[in-house]
Amino acid sequence: MGPALCLLSAACFGAMAIFGKLAYAAGVSPEALLLARFGFAAGLLAMLLLLRPGLRRDPASPDRRTGPARVTLGLLVTALGLGAVGYATQASLYFAALEVMDASLLSLVFYTYPLLVTLTAVLLGRDRLTPGRCAALVAASCGTLLVLLGTGGVDFHPLGATLAFGAAVTYTVYILVADTVVHRLPPVMLSALVMAGAAFTLGARAIVRGGVDLSFGLRGWFWLACIAVVSTVLAMLTFFAGLRRTGPSTAAILSTFEPVVTTALAALTLDEILTSVQITGGLLVLSSVAALQVQRTHPGHRGAVPHRVPNRPDLDNPKQPVSIS
């Protein structure tokens, strides 16, 4: 389930660029998009927690009758900080870079984060760099490179590249910090706190800057709802649930599926034709995902990394609610 959840998360995140372009065409500004995205998501997750108390259950307890997870002050501050500092900063840097550079080059620079996550996790002693994982990382990175460069020439913008790399570094820290709390809080609760933290930061920034324009029409609100539900709520829940099962390195590598989804959806909805180079890159990314799946399903293999999370019934039970479905 872990790799599948990570791939679903990547697909949901990958659709966000398409929803964003459609929202921009409907008159939505980047500031309004970010504020509405995190505000809607925080509200939806809070409502979900109220309607389904079981989603607040302690993830470390195998007993379904256990009460809500105990949230210490340290956990609360960390979860809110992930959104208020990490996610809000990453999203702001990403969309700031998008204003001054081509989207394909921005994605290329930003998707250095799987390599950063893997190397940082190894340096911190939280993961092992096995030969199979190295091969999957190289294949996924090369495949992503082909997918993004297959569109043709792009203009290099130093400021945009700096902002994009800053977004990648921020997201790297975000993933590694999230990995320290994802086993101690239910995914829905953690996602709600992260979204609330990001919404608070962006809301405060909007107040300082004199507010944002929300006068766009119904079509703009529809695409914002798609971003909030599909590319934020569902994407976040499946990412945290997948991260609990796979660890930070594998989750980051599997997330390279996101630009493949974005490119394919752009071809289907925005009349952007896939080139042979892009198709080759997509197949390379998919092959690396398949290789990771095969490696994880053979725990006796000498290159396999032992599961870092104790085998808990709530993680192995497919009926355990870990997403909004």
| Distance, CA of 215 to CA of 207 (rounded, Å) | 17
pLDDT at position 230: 92
Residues contacting residue 23 through CB under 8 Å, at least 6 positions apart: 33, 220, 223, 224, 227
pLDDT at position 199: 93
**H or E segment to which residue 58 belongs:** none
Which residue, 188, 248, 235, 263, is CA-closest to 9? 235
How far is C-alpha 173 from the geometric centre of its chain's CA atoms?
Answer: 13
Reported as half-sphere exposure (CB side, CA atoms, 13 A), residue 164 has a value of 22
The predicted model scores a pTM of 0.71
Distances, alpha carbon 153 to alpha carbons 104, 105, 156, 255, 271, in Å:
10, 9, 10, 25, 19
User: Which residue ranges make up each domain of the chain?
Assistant: 2-61+70-298
Helix axis angle, 30-51 to 187-208, nearest 10°: 140
Is the separation of the CB atoms in 15 and 261 below 8 Å?
yes
pLDDT at position 243: 78
Position 68, amino acid: P
Helix axis angle, 276-296 to 2-25, nearest 10°: 150
Helix axis angle, 131-149 to 113-123, nearest 10°: 160
What's the sign of the alpha-carbon dihedral 232, 42, 163, 252?
Answer: negative
DSSP string, 160-200: HHHHHHHHHHHHHHHHHHHHHHTTTS-HHHHHHHHHHHHHH
Q: What is the pLDDT along the chain (325 residues), one digit of tens a residue?
A: 888 888 899 899 888 878 888 888 888 888 898 999 999 999 998 998 888 877 777 655 555 555 566 778 888 888 899 999 999 999 889 878 877 777 666 776 787 777 777 778 878 887 777 787 778 778 877 887 777 677 555 455 778 888 988 998 999 898 888 877 877 888 788 888 999 999 999 999 989 988 888 888 899 999 999 999 999 888 878 887 887 788 776 777 777 788 778 777 877 887 766 677 877 877 787 677 666 655 554 444 333 333 333 222 232 333 232 222 2
DSSP string, 62-129: S-TT--BPP--HHHHHHHHHIIIIIIHHHHHHHHHHHTTS-HHHHHHHHTTHHHHHHHHHHHTTSS--
